[in-house]
């Protein structure tokens, strides 16, 4: 499965029985890729940058767990193909990971609109993230979701800067109730640079 592949097709899907038999190996194989596609920003915001491999694995896992057979495949591909970068973007799942239920409920009310405040800065030039879905991830009473999907769209010049290790790259959240940022480490940056192809 080439990492530069842009779309999962039904032909890419492994039959349920074969996947079940080799599932532990598939899960083991994806660990190094996922390790360098994960970033923590602040105490509980974790970004998981997606690509063909991570989304293929997600689709296979959904088919394995839900056992919907061939009829389930189309729906999974419709859900997860849009999260595969198409050459000039990075796409991430943002998870607000708060174990304590009371704290989580309180914080999710404070963080309404967090998906609109995310950015990558390249030597102070900010690339604002945009939510990948049109549905509002915040309830009418002001509680945000603990899971968001965001897209960073780069120009050719910004891609060159991202690939240039001399240019500082920072992933940040500029929400009034959650102002945190983290320098993108070299290993993560090298892995994410593969998405620009």
For position 39, what pLDDT does the model report?
A: 97
Give tens-digit pLDDT for 66-122. 998 888 999 999 999 999 999 999 999 999 999 999 999 999 999 999 999 999 999
* C-beta pairs of 110-113 under 8 Å, 24+ apart in sequence: 110/177, 110/178, 111/144, 111/175, 111/177, 111/178, 112/138, 112/142, 112/143, 112/144, 113/138, 113/144, 113/175
Question: Quick check: 1 pLDDT over 70?
Answer: no
Question: Quick check: 21 pLDDT over 60?
Answer: yes
pTM: 0.92
Rounded to the nearest 10 degrees, how much is the dihedral formed by the CA atoms of 91, 156, 2, 17? 20
Closest CA to 145 of 119, 101, 114: 114
Q: Where are the domains of the chain?
A: 13-193
**Helix or strand or coil: residue 82?**
helix
């Amino acid at each position: 499965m080439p990492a530069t592949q842009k779309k999962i097709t039904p032909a890419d899907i492994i039959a349920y029985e074969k996947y079940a038999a080799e599932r532990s190996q598939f899960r083991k194989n994806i660990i190094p890729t996922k390790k360098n596609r994960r970033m923590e920003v602040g105490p509980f915001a974790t970004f998981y940058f997606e690509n063909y491999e991570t989304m293929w694995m997600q689709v296979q896992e959904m088919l394995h767990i839900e056992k919907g057979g061939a009829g389930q495949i189309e729906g999974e591909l419709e859900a997860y193909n849009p999260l595969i970068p198409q050459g000039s973007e990075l796409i991430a799942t943002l998870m607000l990971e708060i174990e304590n239920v009371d704290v989580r409920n309180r914080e999710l009310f404070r963080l309404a609109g967090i998906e609109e405040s995310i950015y990558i800065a390249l030597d102070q030039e900010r690339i604002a993230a945009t939510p990948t879905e049109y549905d509002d991830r915040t309830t009418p009473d002001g509680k945000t979701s603990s899971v968001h999907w965001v897209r960073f769209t780069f120009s050719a010049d910004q891609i060159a800067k991202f690939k240039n290790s001399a240019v500082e790259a920072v992933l940040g959240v500029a929400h009034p109730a959650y102002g945190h940022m983290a320098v993108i480490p070299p290993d993560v940056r090298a892995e994410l640079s593969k998405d620009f192809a």
